[in-house]
Amino acid sequence: MLPIRKLHQLTGHEAAVFALCPGFETGKVLSGAGDGWVVEWDPAQPHLGRLLARVGTQIFSLASLPASRWVVVGNMQGGVHWVDIDEPEATRNIAHHQKGVFAILPVGESVFTLGGEGRITRWSAGEGQSLESLHLSNQGLRCLDYSPLRNELAVGGSDTNIYLLDADTLDIRHRIESAHGNSVFSLRYAPDGNYLLSGGRDAQLNAWSLEGPPQRIVTQPAHWYTINGIAFHPEGKIFATASRDKTIKIWDAETFQLLKVLESIRDQGHLRSVNALLWMDHLVSASDDRSLIIWGV
């Protein structure tokens, strides 16, 4: 039995927590929630959350840029906020996407954002200006990941497709059509770049071989409801999935066998939908129950 235990529950947000990203210092975590707050947490001092910014509307996504000490925040109206945490009054909100900004990902000198209107946009990480956009779908784009070994972006959409893009040119390398029975809500490349995991609103977990044209190598009903997030342990031997069914599940990254279920009663887990995962030294989860939980593995 894989030993996992709840270490701390972090409270203070006044609405569902939708987004997590690494903080500016080692081990620290940033969260974004429906209350419009960006909060910094230190697992070493779990009861001392620090409010970094308020953006005035629901936060769906966020990313930290340590070089500039900016936090990039996506809101439910499609705005992209560039927050200077040392000078919050200099924050810029750029009304760029429509129907929500569902994912933000820094890659080198760029930041990529996904919108509910079906566009992916590349921004300059140093200047906070949009550089180019690609309209991939007539439905929303929901999730995004990057493989440095493949220099490739994976984009999942409400149109049930997965798009694999060259990270430099945004050319479409592959389109995996009907990857799920409903919207693709989560994506994560294996650390070695050999396969891609996808989770959908259909509660299915799929693994796609990337040695040649993408081929589905695993499919299984992993949860009862939508799979909202996937995160690999830093060593790459196990990964976690988070779901609207209130559970977190831990899986073997080689065999795709289920190792552990973290639930509300037995493990003092989340009481509502688990919306996001981040795996650094510890596994961090965020939920509709307005809290974060730090898990020791």
**pLDDT per residue as tens digits for the range 23-55:** 999 999 999 999 999 999 998 898 889 999 999
Q: Is 56 left (phi over 0), alpha (psi -120 to 50) or beta?
A: left
Residue carrying the six token digits 């995996």: 176
Residue 50's SS3 state is: strand
Q: In angstroms, rounded to a whole number, what is the distance separating the alpha carbons of residues 68 and 44?
A: 25
Q: In angstroms, rounded to a whole number, what is the distance separating the alpha carbons of residues 279 and 152?
A: 21
Q: With beta carbons less than 8 A apart as the criterion, state whether 151 and 167 touch.
A: yes
Confidence band, pLDDT 50/70/90 cuts, at residue 162: very high
**Average pLDDT score over residue span 232-256:** 97
Cα–Cα nearest to 141, from 163, 123, 122, 126:
163
Q: Is 268 left (phi over 0), alpha (psi -120 to 50) or beta?
A: left
Q: With beta carbons less than 8 A apart as the criterion, state whether 215 and 209 touch.
A: yes
Residue 158: domain span: 5-296
- pTM for this prediction: 0.96
**pLDDT per residue as tens digits for the range 211-240:** 999 999 999 999 999 999 999 999 999 999
Query: What's the angle, vertex CA 47, arms to CA 265 and CA 14, rounded to 5?
Result: 70
Confidence band, pLDDT 50/70/90 cuts, at residue 1: low
Domain CATH for 109:
2.130.10.10
Q: In angstroms, rounded to a whole number, what is the distance separating the alpha carbons of residues 278 and 268?
A: 19
pLDDT score at 3: 86
Please give the full DSSP string across 121-134, using - where no structure is assigned.
EEEETTT--EEEEE
- Please give the C-alpha separations between residue 201 and each of 144, 179, 263, in angstroms, as whole numbers: 15, 11, 20
Mean pLDDT (the chain) is: 96
Distance of CA 141 to the CA centre of its chain: 13
More confident residue, 91 or 122: 122
pLDDT score at 192: 93
Residue 211: exposure state from Cβ atoms within 10 A (0-12, 13-18, ≥19): exposed
Structural domain tally of the chain? 1
Confidence band, pLDDT 50/70/90 cuts, at residue 93: confident
pLDDT score at 172: 98
Is the sign of the CA dihedral 175, 178, 179, 183 positive or negative? positive
